[in-house]
């Protein structure tokens, strides 16, 4: 509960206590008027205010001013205390929120670093895999070129062997004809 509400409740309690006290005092008071050297009671209790209104107004003004200044000072002090309490509460809440934000920020940075590290590892692995794939591709291309050279060499060798076979067949056929010609000349 703030101080201003407490002050208003205290003021209401003080007004109630003041009325109770004044009612007790007024019950014992009377206003007497002197006429022909005799005193006559003009009123008792609260009736005396009809006859003593100048005294009542003066007392009300003096008491009211004192109560007003006192209440004003107390109200100003209570307002300052309420504002200070509110500022302290807000500062405490701000500190809590700053700690929470700082904690969240540090967790976010740690998570970011973790994700970046994982991404760097994945990137490094992917680059290594790519380099390995390019190396394998180059080896495969080289193996294909070697195989093509071997095929060409084998084709050349096969062509050469075929020519030799044909030449050998042709030479054998010539020798056979020559031998047959020599045989037929000799017989």
Mean pLDDT of the chain: 90
Mean pLDDT of 158-187: 86
Q: How many residues does the chain have?
A: 187
Q: What pLDDT score does 179 carry?
A: 83
- Any residues with CB less than 8 A from the CB of 142 and at least 6 apart, and which? none
Q: What pLDDT score does 58 carry?
A: 94
For the record, the structure tokens of 90 come out as: 């807000």
Exposed, middle or buried, 154 (CB in 10 Å: 0-12/13-18/19+)? exposed
pTM: 0.47
Assign 157 a pLDDT band (cuts: 50, 70, 90). very high
The per-residue pLDDT for range 104-152, each reduced to its tens digit, is 999 999 999 999 999 999 999 999 999 999 999 999 999 999 999 999 9
Q: What pLDDT score does 102 carry?
A: 92
> Is residue 1 predicted with pLDDT exceeding 60?
no
Q: Are 47 and 31 in contact (CB under 8 A)?
A: yes
Percentage above 70 pLDDT, the chain: 99
Question: Cα(66)–Cα(58) distance, rounded to whole angstroms?
Answer: 12
Q: If DSSP codes are grouped into helix, strand and coil, which group holds residue 36?
A: coil
> Is residue 186 predicted with pLDDT exceeding 80?
no
Question: Cα(39)–Cα(35) distance, rounded to whole angstroms?
Answer: 6
């Amino acid at each position: 509960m703030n101080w201003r509400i407490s002050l208003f409740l205290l003021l209401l309690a003080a007004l109630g206590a003041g009325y109770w006290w004044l009612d007790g005092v007024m019950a014992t008071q009377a206003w007497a008027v002197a006429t022909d050297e005799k005193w006559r009671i003009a009123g008792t209790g609260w009736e005396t205010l009809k006859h003593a209104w100048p005294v009542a107004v003066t007392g009300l003004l003096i008491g009211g001013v004192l109560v007003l200044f006192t209440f004003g000072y107390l109200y100003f002090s209570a307002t300052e205390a309420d504002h200070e309490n509110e500022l302290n509460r807000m500062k405490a809440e701000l500190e809590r929120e700053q700690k929470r934000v700082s904690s969240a920020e540090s967790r976010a940075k740690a998570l970011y670093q973790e994700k970046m590290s994982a991404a760097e590892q994945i990137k490094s692995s992917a680059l290594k895999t790519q380099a390995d794939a390019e190396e394998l591709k180059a080896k495969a291309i080289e193996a294909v070129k070697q195989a093509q050279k071997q095929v060409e060499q084998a084709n050349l060798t096969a062509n050469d062997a075929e020519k030799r076979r044909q030449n050998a067949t042709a030479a054998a056929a010539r020798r056979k004809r020559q031998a047959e010609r020599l045989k037929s000349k000799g017989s």
